[in-house]
Chain A
Amino acid sequence: MSGHSVIGFFASYDLLLNAVKSAQAQRCGEIRTISPVPLPEISELLGEKPSPVRRFTLAGGLLGLTVGWLLPIGSVYHYPLIVGGKPLVSLTPFAVVAYICTILFGALFTVLGMLLNARLPRIQVGRGYDPRLTGNRFGLQVICAQREVQEIERKMLDFGAEEVKYVEV
C-alpha cells in the first residue's frame, strides 16, 4: 500500500526540535526524524517505547548459558571417561564454557535484535532519502493523507524548514 509523506530539511537541531513539537501539537500525522547523530531528546518527545533489543540480548544470553552447560555435560555422559580423577560433571571447568557461550549467544542475538527491529539490512535506502541527512542537516518526515500534503508542506516551511520534499512511501 502506498502512502504520502513530506520531508522537511532543517539546518539546525533547535529548528527540528521546535518543528517536532509543533507537528505533534497540530496532529500533523505520523512523525519520524532522520539525523546524522542519535537524538534521544526527540525519541523522548515522540514517546517512543524502549527498544526491545534488550529482550533479544537476554534470550540469547539464556540460550547460551543453557547450551554452554549442556554441551560439556552431554559430551561426558555420551562418552563417560574419567580424566585426572575428576568427576564426570566437573562444574567449575564447565562453568567457563557456559560463561563464554552466554556472552557469545548474547552478542549474536543482540545484533539479530537490532537488525530485525531496525528493519536492516535493506537493499536500498527509502524513497526521499537525502545524503545531506547523514551530513549536517536534520530531516522531519510526516506521513499523511494525500489531501494534507500541501498543508503539511506549508507548515514545514512555517516551522523553519529550508526545503521540503514530497515523497511517496
Chain B
Amino acid sequence: MSEATANLAAPELNYTSVDRDLVKTMQPPRRLYYGVLAALLAVIALGGYAWSVQLRQGMGVAGISSPVGWGFYITTFVFWVGIAHSGTLISAVLFLFRVRWRSSIYRSAEAVTVFAVLTAGLFPLIHLGRPWVAYWLMPYKQMGGLFPNFRSPLVWDVFAVSTYLTVSALFFFTGMVPDLAIVRDRSQGWREKVYAFLAQGWQGTNTQWKHYTAAYVFLAGLATPLVISVHSIVSWDFAMSLNPGWHTAIFPPYFVAGAIHSGLAMVATIVIPMRRIFGLDAFITREHLASMAKFMIMTGLILGYSYAVEFFIAWYSNNAYERDLFFYRAFGDYAWALWLLVACNVLAPSLFFFERVRYSVRWLVTICLLVNVGMFYERFVIIVTSLGRGFDPFTWGLYVPRWPEVAILAGSLAWFFLFFLLFAKAFPVVSMWEVKEQLPMPGGEAGRSAMAGKEHP
C-alpha cells in the first residue's frame, strides 16, 4: 500500500476534534441501544436456560455422542479462539511493522480479542458436562499428589488460552490509559471519579511517556508470538491425535491463517456498523476498510492453498484412511458444509481483488458475514467428519446438533456482542492518542506529526 493511501485520517481532523468527536461516542445511549441490549440479554438467557437443561438432565440432551464426542461446543470454542486473533494481529503485529492504518481500528480489534477469548473460555466448561470440576485442569497438586498431564495438548490449551487472555487484556488496558485520562479530564461527577480511578493518575509527562512507550513496544513484542502459538496449540488438540484428517503437520499454519481470516472478518463486521452509528467516517475511512479487505485476500488465499494441500496430501500419501476421509468430506454426508466453507472463505474474499468491491461497504459487510459463517463450518467439518469417519467402519456415525447446542451457540454470539455494546459506550472505541500522534501537531510545521520523531530511548 502506498503512503498516500495509508494516510489514516480525513484532513479536517485535529487534536481538538479528535477529543470532541470520540468523547461524544460515550454520551448516554438512545432508546435503540437499550432495545438491542434487551434483545441480547434475552438470547443470553435462552443460552443459559439451555445450559441449565444440560446440567440437570445430563449430556444426553446434546447431539454429541459416540463416535462424534466433539460437536458444536468444541467447534464454537475453536471459532471464538480464532476470532480472538484479529486483535493481537492488528494491535501488536501491525504496530511492530508500523502499519499506519491500524491506529483507528486497533482498539475495537483488541476489544474483539478480549471478548472473544472470554466467550471461548465458556465452551470447554460447557463441554465438560460437570463444570464444577474444571479446576482439575489447573496446575496444582491434586488428589494423591498427582498433577495434570503436561504432555497433553488439552493442558497446553489451558496455559495458552489463559495466557492469551491475560496478555491481551493487559495490552488492551495499557493502550487505553492515556485515553482514559482524556475522558477523565472531560467528565464530571461520578464519571470523572470512575475514569480518574481507571486512568491511574496519568498526566502525560515525558517520564511517563518514556516508560509507557517502552512497555507498549515490549508488550507488542510479547503478544506477537502468541498470535502464532495460541492457535497452533489449539490445532495440536487435533493434530496430536491419530485420527484421519487430524494427524497432519499442516494444521498449525493452516489454523493460524484461518484464525486471522475470521478475526479480520469479525472486526470488519463490528467496525462498519459502529462507524455508521457513531459517525466515525473521518476516523475509520474507506481506506482502512479497503486495507482490511486486502489483508483478507491474502489470508483467504493462504486458506485456499491449505485446503488444496490437505486434499493433495491425502491423495499423495497413498494412505487408504486419509483418502477415504477426504473423499467423504468432499462427497459424503457433510459435503454441503465443505463446499459452503470453500465458497465463503476462499471464493467470496477473492472478490476483493476488484477495487469496486473492496471500497463498497455493503460488499465488505456481506463478504465478512459469509467468512464468519464459513469459518464456523470449517471447524465443524474438521471436527465432525474426522470423528464420525474413523479407522473402523463399524464405529462410523453422524452428528446432528440438538436445540441446546444451537441455543448455546446463539447465546455465545449474544454474550460477545453484549460485551462489545457495553464497551462501546463506556470506553473510547478509537485510540485518541495514537490518532493524534499521526496528525500534524498544533501550530507545528505543516504535516509534521509526533510520529516524525525518533523512537523513545
- A: which residues have CB within 8 A of B? 11-15, 32-44, 46, 48-51, 53-54, 57, 71-72, 75-76, 78-79, 81, 83-84, 86, 90, 93-94, 96-97, 99-101, 103-104, 106-108, 110-111, 113-114, 117-126, 129, 131, 133-138, 141
Contacts and interface: CB of A to CB of B under 8 A. Distances in A.
A120 B159 CA distance: 29
B444 A51 contact: no
B97 to A, nearest CB: 18
A93 B150 contact: yes
Contacts of A101: 159, 163
A126 B199 CA distance: 13
B145 A78 contact: yes
Contacts of B233: 96
Nearest to A90: B151
B457 A14 contact: no
Given A110-B222, A111-B215, 17 more contacts: A13-B442, A14-B443, A38-B212, A40-B456, A41-B453, A43-B457, A46-B206, A48-B206, A48-B207, A79-B146, A83-B151, A101-B163, A111-B174, A114-B215, A117-B211, A118-B211, A135-B185
B222 A38 contact: no
B160 to A, nearest CB: 6
Contacts, number: 220
Chain B's interface: helix, strand, loop or mixed, by majority? helix
B114 interface: no
B241 to A, nearest CB: 12
B31 interface: no
Given A32-B207, A43-B210, A107-B170, A50 B457 contact: yes
A114 B214 contact: yes
B205 A32 contact: yes
B334 interface: no
Interface in B342-374: none
Contacts of B150: 71-72, 75-76, 93-94, 97
A79 B14 contact: no
B58 interface: no
Interface of B: 14-16, 19, 139, 141, 144-151, 155-156, 159-160, 163, 166-167, 170-171, 174, 178, 181-182, 185-186, 196, 200-215, 218-219, 222-223, 225-226, 229, 233, 433, 436-437, 441-445, 448, 450, 453-457
B138 to A, nearest CB: 12
B381 to A, nearest CB: 26
Contacts of A138: 442
A50 to B, nearest CB: 4
A11 B443 contact: yes
B443 A79 contact: no
Given A13-B442, A71-B139, A103-B163, A44 B457 contact: yes
Nearest to A141: B205
A36 B160 contact: no
A136 B219 contact: no
A44 B443 contact: no
A160 B150 CA distance: 64
12 contacts: A39-B450, A41-B454, A50-B457, A51-B213, A51-B457, A53-B215, A75-B147, A96-B156, A99-B225, A104-B166, A134-B178, A135-B16
A107 to B, nearest CB: 5
B211 A51 contact: yes
A89 B147 CA distance: 14
B201 A49 contact: no
Contact of A121 (B200, B453, B456, B457): B200
Contact of A53 (B160, B167, B186, B218): B218
A39 B444 CA distance: 13
Given A49-B457, A103-B225, A110-B218, A133 B203 contact: yes
B149 A122 contact: no
Given A44-B454, A100-B163, A93 B147 contact: no
Contact of B229 (A38, A76, A79, A100): A100
B209 A38 contact: yes
A52 B227 CA distance: 26
A42 B445 CA distance: 16
Contacts of B203: 34, 125-126, 129, 133-134
A90 B206 CA distance: 48
B201 A131 contact: no
A134 B442 contact: no
Contact of A108 (B151, B170, B207): B170
Contact of B204 (A36, A81, A104): A36
Contacts of B14: 136
Contacts of B207: 32, 48, 117-119
Contact of A39 (B139, B443, B453): B453
